[in-house]
Structure 1
Amino acid sequence: MRARYAAEVTVSDGRRFASLGRVTVRNRRLALLWLRRQALRLANAHGCAVSDASPGDVRPVRFHGSDAPEGLRFWATDGRRQDDAIRALEAGFPLLFTVVDPAVGLSLTLAGWRGSPADL
């Protein structure tokens, strides 16, 4: 059976950890596409209501500064970073990208990895 890919968005305040959402898909491009969508949704929702949510989208996060949303937006739209991300997944390495909201010590991580269906 072909390898499947998982992607997840998590948040932590340094003491507690929570998953905001997770998806399992059939290939690395779909995993990266889902992560990019979530990054842009979270960045664009900074200070606004989220109106474009789909059933598989993560719950919104309230950022207290603009660094984290700008970091998410940059990661999702920068061609070099997206090329690096797809190559990491292709090589079997996990994809991890974390932004920090220094105002409250909140960290948000986008993660993607390859695994067999039994491992997910």
Structure 2
Amino acid sequence: MTRASYAAEVTMSHGQRFVSLGGVTVRNRRLVLLWLRRQALRLANGHGLATAADTLPLPTRDVRPVRFHGSDAPEGLRCWATDNRRQDDAIRALEAGFPLLFTVVDPAVGLSLTLSGWRGCLTDHV
């Protein structure tokens, strides 16, 4: 039996180097968006300090922190996570089967951080 699932990941790149900061597989698109919003706010607000999103228990781990050298990337993450129109666009993209991609850049050091979510599937083995 196959059931729909969704996955999300936060990645970072600098030049030719690329690293996954963490990811999750969950049962629906709303949980993907909730997890990505939580990560965006945590990263923007100070490397793991508690945020309002942290009050909702999730059965997943948070991504590793990132040290930003300027305010552009944190402000971009915060704006994406708290703007209702952007969140509506994100959930509609996932609902339509498109991947969700949002990237911010720390121009001080050329670091890129990408939040991504997509529909996948898990296979249950009997």
Looking at structure 1, the residues matched to 17 and 101 of structure 2 have their Cα atoms a distance apart, in angstroms, of: 19
What does 1:6-45 correspond to in 2, within 5 Å?
A: 6-45=7-46
Instruction: Point out the structure with the larger strand share.
Output: 2
**TM superposition score normalised by structure 2:** 0.87
**TM superposition score normalised by structure 1:** 0.91
Looking at structure 2, the residues matched to 35 and 14 of structure 1 have their Cα atoms a distance apart, in angstroms, of: 24
Q: Secondary structure at the match of 2:63?
A: coil
Pair 1:78-2:64 in alignment: no
2:48 maps to amino acid: V
Greater C-alpha radius of gyration: 2
Q: Secondary structure at the match of 1:114?
A: strand
1:62 maps to amino acid: R
Looking at structure 1, the residues matched to 83 and 48 of structure 2 have their Cα atoms a distance apart, in angstroms, of: 23
Partner of 1:115: 120
Offset at residue 14 of structure 1 (A):
2.1
Offset at residue 2 of structure 1 (A):
2.5
Aligned residues: CA RMSD: 1.5
Point out 4+ residue stretches in structure 1 off by more than 4 angstroms. none
Q: Percent identity at matched positions?
A: 80
Q: Which runs of 5+ in 2 are unaligned?
A: none
Q: Which runs of 5+ in 1 are unaligned?
A: none
Offset at residue 117 of structure 1 (A):
1.2
Of 10-19 and 49-58, more deviation after overlay is shown by 49-58
